Structure 1
Amino acid sequence: MIHNIIKDKPTRLFIILGGFFIANAIVAEVTGVKVFSLEDTLGFPKASIDLLGEKGLSFSLTVGVIPWPVIFVMTDIINEYYGVRGVRFLSILTVALIAFAFIVFYLGIHTVPDNGWRYRGLSPGVTDQQAAYVQVLGQGMNIIIGSITAFLLGQLLDAVIFKKIKKITGEKAIWMRATISTLASQFIDSIVVTFVAFYLFRDFSLATVTAWALTAYMYKFLVAVLMTPVIYLVHGIIERYLGHDLAKNMKEAAMRDK
């Protein structure tokens, strides 16, 4: 029976797309506790932005934005062939798995460390393995609600907008529905996750958090545009894999889906 399920092309494709979607979302959540300087990373001169009365702000992003281009592509492709229901199912499943991951992190943090592990074989600059463990995995505990809320709202909004645009454009203008749906959904995602994670729970200033949210959205805006050729490439690969007739039937079924 398992062989038959895996052999079925639509099912196999959904598992592959869903696997990349879920894996990248979880990686983004875990790594997103770090904020990095975009200018220093790229070797550009530091920007100096005055915002909401605070001076000298620069472009900073959470590391969680790095895996997001893959999620952009997966969301649009899943929507194309499996409809809003497919995106909704994977989004809810992803939220459940993210919550499970953080429960495991919480339990892991609160286990009593073995002193042989805690104080021996330390990496340079690390004086306590337990403290480092908590520092990396524990930071996300305060932002999990904001992250999950932003992710779920963003993905469901993306799916709805994508479908509405496709009703107007039909099979044409993949770039339009992919880009516009991503830009709209990621505006909500960037605002919600940044303000909840860093303004409500981490006590950063409103100006700093606003700058981070705008920087994150600018990054996602640029990435959404740059990823357009990738969406066409993946779309073409899937069309060849499924065959014209099967792909057409799946896309028609996706448009009827609610």
Structure 2
Amino acid sequence: MSDPHRPAHIRAREITGSHFRYFDFVMAAFVVILVLSNVIGAGKVAQIWLPGVGYWPFGAGILFFPVSYVIGDVLTEVYGYARARRVIWAGFAAVLFMAFMSWIVVELPPAPDWENQAAYEVIFGQVPRIVFASMIAFWCGEFVNSFVMAKMKVWTQGKHLWMRTIGSTIAGQGVDSLIFYPAAFLYAEGWTNELVLTVLVTQWVLKVSWEAILTPFTYLVVGFLKRREGLDVYDEGTNFTPFSARV
């Protein structure tokens, strides 16, 4: 006898057009965290003291950007790949508009009595190469993350959520880092090949570790959403092309 309190196992393609209670909120959280981590966190290098190592510098954006991968895992696990794909495209469009808006606002001539232009350029001015690398890396990394998450759910028959979240993040963040750091900094002034490789590996390890630390939180959110939505979506027979926003 089936458990009446357990969400129903259903194929993703069987719920086209269905209305979910919390999907819009999760989508909004994903886009907000993605945009803010790029606006607020990307421009600051912070440091933390590590026992036996001393002070270790890191990009402040790493504190919150990996949360977008956690939410991406939640989206794929609860709502399926197609809806996660739609959210990834929404996030990509939001970051694209943010970059365009930042460029326009920075380039506008400041009023003669406004003395903050230099500081404004430091905070919101963006190097085109880094912006391009960031957007391509995000797009590729998020889709790899969602694809691996969806496939592993089918392979494991919905078991071992922790294995899926960490495994998909290893793949997704790996692709993200492999694209971003060489594209943004290879042969740039002050960046040696060894430094690019060191930062790439360090950031990848930190992001995956952050995902692992947040695993209990992921379990809580996934469990809550599945119970409230009443469905457990499996991507059996799903079209995994990233070049679509249809659900």
Decide: shared fold, TM above 0.5.
yes
Aligned: 1:247 with 2:244 = no
Query: How far apart are residue 161 of structure 1 and its match?
Result: 1.0
Offset of residue 256 of structure 1: 4.1
Secondary structure of 2:206's counterpart equals helix
Conserved? CA contact 2:145–2:168, under 8 Å: yes
- Kept in 1: contact 2:187–2:193 (CA 8 A): no
User: What is the aligned counterpart of 1:205 among 180, 184, 192?
Assistant: 192
Partner of 1:229: 216
Mean Cα deviation higher: 135-144 or 20-29: 135-144
- The code of the aligned residue for 1:19 comes to A
For residues 84-114 of structure 1, give each alpha carbon's deviation from its aligned partner in whole angstroms, at most 9, with x where no partner exists: 2122211122111111111111111111111
**Cα 1:175–1:187 shift into 2, 3 Å:** same
Instruction: For residue 36 of structure 1, report the CA deviation from its aligned partner.
Output: 2.8
1:34–1:62 contact (8 Å) kept in structure 2 = yes
Aligned equivalents of 2:78 and 2:168: distance in 1? 16
Offset at residue 175 of structure 1 (A): 0.8
Which of 20, 24, 33 is the matching residue for 2:29?
Answer: 20
Residue among 123, 130, 136 paired with 1:136: 123
Q: Is the 8 A contact 2:78 2:226 kept in 1?
A: no
Structure 2 CA distance for partners of 1:114 and 1:179, relative to 1, 3 Å: same
Q: Please, what TM-score do these two structures have when normalized by structure 1? A: 0.78
Q: How far has the Cα of 1:201 moved from its partner?
A: 5.2
Q: Aligned pair in 2 of structure 1 residues 205, 235: CA closer, same or farther (>3 Å)?
A: same
* TM superposition shift of 1:131: 0.7
Matching of residue 63 in structure 1 with residue 50 in structure 2 = no
Structure with the largest fraction of helix: 1
**1:43-73 CA distances to partner (integer Å, 9 max, x unpaired)?**
64546xxxxxxxxxx8542222111342122
Q: Deviations over 1:206-258 (max 9, x none)?
A: 2222211111011012112111111111112113322xxx313xx14x44432
Structure 2 residues not aligned, in runs of 5+:
1-16, 240-247
Write the letter of the residue equivalent to 1:208. L
* Aligned CA distance change for structure 1 residues 82 and 116 (closer, same or farther; 3 Å): same
Q: Tell whether 2:112 aligns with 1:115.
A: yes
> Shift in Å at residue 140 of structure 1?
4.6
Tell me how many residue pairs correspond in the alignment.
222
Instruction: Quote the Cα distance in structure 1 between the aligned partners of 2:93 and 2:168.
Output: 24
In structure 2, relative to structure 1, the CA distance for the partners of 1:43 and 1:257 (3 Å cut) is: same
Tell me the C-alpha RMSD between the 2 structures: 2.2
Distance 1:24 1:139, change over 3 A: same
Deviates more, 1:196-205 or 1:206-215: 196-205
Structure 1: how far apart are the matches of 2:77 and 2:50? 38
Q: Does 1:42 align with 2:29?
A: no
Q: Higher relative contact order by CA 8 Å / sep ≥ 6: 1 or 2? A: 2
Partners of 1:103 and 1:201 lie apart in 2 by: 23
1:191 is displaced (CA, Å) by 2.4
Instruction: Check if 1:91 corresponds to 2:103.
Output: no
User: What amino acid is aligned across from residue 34 of structure 1 in structure 2?
Assistant: K
Tell whether the 8 Å contact from 1:29 to 1:64 is kept in structure 2 after alignment: yes
Letter in 1 for 2:37: A
- What residue number does 1:101 align with? 98
Give percent identity, aligned residues only. 25
Contact kept, 8 Å, 1:59 with 1:211, in 2: the verdict is no
Instruction: Provide the C-alpha distance between the structure 1 equivalents of 2:64 and 2:77, rounded to a whole number of angstroms.
Output: 21
